[in-house]
Amino acid sequence: MVTPLLDVRDLSIGFGSADAVVRDVSFQVMPGETLALVGESGSGKTITCRSVLRILPQAAQIRSGVINYSAGGKTCNLLTESRRTMRSIRGNQISMIFQEPMRSLSPLHRLGDQVGEVLRLHRDMRPGEAKKTVLDTFERVGFPDPTRVWRSYPFEMSGGMRQRAMIAMAMVAKPELLIADEPTTALDVTTQAQVLGLIKELQLETGMAVILVTHDLGVVANMAETVVVMNKGRVMERGPAPAVLGSPAHGYTKKLFAAAPMIPEVAAPARAETSDDLILDLRNVSKTYTMRAGGWRKPVTITACHEVNLSLQRGKTLAVVGESGSGKTTCARIALGAELPDPGGEVLFRPTKDADQVKINAMSQQERVHFQRQAQMVFQDPYSSLSPRMRVQQALTEPMEIHQLGTRAERRDKAAEMLRWVGLDASMLSRYPHAFSGGQRQRLSIARALTLDPVLLVCDEPTSALDVSVQEQILCLLEDIRDRVGLSYLFISHDLAVVARIADEVAVMRQGVIVEQAPPDTLFYNPRHPYTCALIAAQPEPDVNRPIDLGLVSQGAGKPSSWPEAFRFEGVAAPALTELEPGHKVRCHV
């Protein structure tokens, strides 16, 4: 029998005198194996993985348990080793990658210095030799120009590149075990696919074991051999990935699966009927920002979106999907009149079927006040979009106060009714937001948006800060409300799978341009544009038999000049958006 590389037994960790946040957790990691710790926020998965390196918050106490680490024929308990020994293990035999590559690297030190530091600490290498090893590692993790990276600061790089640098830092000493704590959660899907691919490749090459902490079953299916499902500090289910993912035994695992958003497999799409009753119409909307440069330099212009045409039918949901920097949020802001489009573009809004159209980009003060009642927004982060110093009642009645609607009692009744609509209890009116969970807070902000009886709701990534099971509930709620009162949604998201269930029409944006637009069924059944194909392929599926096709991802996510002939272009000369079949527009040369 092979000794496990890491053997965690009956680990319990708590804070102060409160109940333990990790309770009797046991699992083993074999050499060269990938183990996934899966769970939602608050499940204790992060605390568990950090206890291996003993980098816990100061207040955390390890209450019981053993973490045996065996390498080179020696076994030691990581929980009782001296600090000195721990330091010689950290970064050397066990290394770690963190969630936020933006903040996990020091902005003041060059990458070469930060990565090379590991070797200076743990290896007796001459500076030249160390530099060579670091440069080799940079090359290995996919940097085209390692010497430039050596001299670069983290803020000069994109998120994906920084995470590559983090991986290089973790890999440079060739550790036995790599702990990756949500390594791709902060990244775009296509970048995520490439980073996951890289970790896997490096693992094959060096034979290290990996503990992958994640909330995403799709990532698990693509990476792990063994799965440990955690909930509220306890292990719910543990076993080989195919077994756990194929036929989950525990109720909680089943629930996780049911909630995981998936891109549906569509047979032939049904033709959707179209009406010309448009509630919102963006015509030829472009937005360029001018960055004021210091000194004598010329100002730089940045195009956030370029010639965007979008129309939203009354009672439907239009989703704009894209990765960070694609201009989707700019579109939403322009649609709400929070920002003006460049001259030439216009935004038209028709509050009811027979009302006059309002030009959002040229409203009078009175029209604006009126428009603000009819169009509301749900924000991404429910933790920061509710004032922590306002009671729920205040937060919900404030919009009505501003617009001088109803009496005090009526406003209160309306707030209570809205709370019931979003599935909360009217008795919660007197509480403060901190008493609510993330999902409940998002319900609150939806309730707040509804208090003015709007006809249009702009949802800017309303579920991306939430756990999967909560995300599912919020999406249901949004659908429910839309159908109950005939709301129309402009839905902004980075996640095709989320959009798949709620949208009637999907526009895929890339760097400020819509590259493909169609009803979701058509889009998933027959995606044409390489970038859309990459987005769909990069979406991790919780199915071990459907791994991510990295080739497809890297082609679509690459430069436009590497796309197939029909879509290829150089510089900014993108081809026009062409209607290939009714309702399916693709940016290609015909």
**# binding residues, other proteins (CB under 8 A):** 35
Amino acid identity at 406 = G
Q: How far is the C-alpha of 26 from the C-alpha of 421, rounded, in Å?
A: 42
Does residue number 148 form part of the binding site for other proteins (CB under 8 A)? Answer: no
CB atoms within 10 A of CB 158: 15
Q: Annotate each residue in 35-74 with x if it binds other proteins (CB under 8 A) or - if it does not, as one string.
A: ------------------x-x-------------------
- Structure token digits, residue 224: 């792990």
Q: Which stretch binds other proteins (CB under 8 A): 116-124, 230-238, 447-455, 544-552?
A: 116-124
CB of 465 to other proteins, least distance (A): 18
Q: How far is the C-alpha of 443 from the C-alpha of 422, rounded, in Å?
A: 6
CB of 120 to other proteins, least distance (A): 10
CB of 97 to other proteins, least distance (A): 9
Q: Annotate each residue in 175-214 with x if it binds other proteins (CB under 8 A) or - if it does not, as one string.
A: ----------------------------------------
Q: Which stretch binds other proteins (CB under 8 A): 8-16, 103-111, 228-236, 458-466?
A: 103-111
CB of 516 to other proteins, least distance (A): 33
Q: Provide the edge-to-edge strand list for the sheet that holds 513-518.
A: 375-378, 456-460, 488-493, 317-322, 505-510, 513-518, 584-587, 577-581
CB of 8 to other proteins, least distance (A): 18
Nearer to other proteins, 121 or 369 (CB): 121
Q: Which stretch binds other proteins (CB under 8 A): 69-77, 100-108, 260-268, 382-390?
A: 100-108
Q: How far is the C-alpha of 501 from the C-alpha of 370, rounded, in Å?
A: 32
At a CB cut-off of 8 Å and minimum separation 6, what does 538 contact?
189, 190, 192, 193, 548, 553, 557
Give bridge partners of residue 457 from the DSSP assignment.
376, 489
Does residue number 127 form part of the binding site for other proteins (CB under 8 A)? Answer: no
Residue from 89, 458, 481, 496 touching other proteins (CB under 8 A): that is: 89
Q: How far is the C-alpha of 284 from the C-alpha of 343, rounded, in Å?
A: 10
CB of 62 to other proteins, least distance (A): 17
Instruction: For residue 283, give Cα distances in angstroms to 199, 286, 290, 345.
Output: 44, 9, 22, 6
Q: Which stretch binds other proteins (CB under 8 A): 135-143, 150-158, 377-385, 414-422?
A: 150-158
User: Interaction with other proteins in 288-347: which residues (CB under 8 A)?
Assistant: 293-295, 297, 300
Q: Provide the edge-to-edge strand list for the sheet that holds 346-349.
A: 300-313, 278-291, 346-349, 358-359
In Å, the largest CA–CA distance within the chain is 80
Nearer to other proteins, 105 or 280 (CB): 105
Residue from 3, 41, 80, 106 touching other proteins (CB under 8 A): that is: 106
Question: For residue 69, which phi and psi values (nearest 5 degrees)?
Answer: -120, 125
Q: Helix crossing, 127-140 with 111-122: angle to 10°?
A: 120
Nearer to other proteins, 160 or 462 (CB): 160
At a CB cut-off of 8 Å and minimum separation 6, what does 117 contact?
none
Does residue number 362 form part of the binding site for other proteins (CB under 8 A)? Answer: no
Residue from 78, 166, 375, 468 touching other proteins (CB under 8 A): that is: 166
CB atoms within 10 A of CB 510: 24
Residue from 41, 87, 148, 355 touching other proteins (CB under 8 A): that is: 87
Residue from 91, 112, 341, 512 touching other proteins (CB under 8 A): that is: 91
Q: How far is the C-alpha of 309 from the C-alpha of 322, rounded, in Å?
A: 15
CB of 54 to other proteins, least distance (A): 9
Residue from 34, 104, 133, 361 touching other proteins (CB under 8 A): that is: 104
At a CB cut-off of 8 Å and minimum separation 6, what does 325 contact?
511
Q: How far is the C-alpha of 509 from the C-alpha of 367, rounded, in Å?
A: 30
Q: Which stretch binds other proteins (CB under 8 A): 106-114, 388-396, 486-494, 580-588?
A: 106-114
- Residues lying near other proteins in the complex (CB under 8 A) are found at 53, 55, 86-92, 95-96, 98-100, 103-109, 117-118, 121-122, 153, 155-156, 166, 169, 293-295, 297, 300
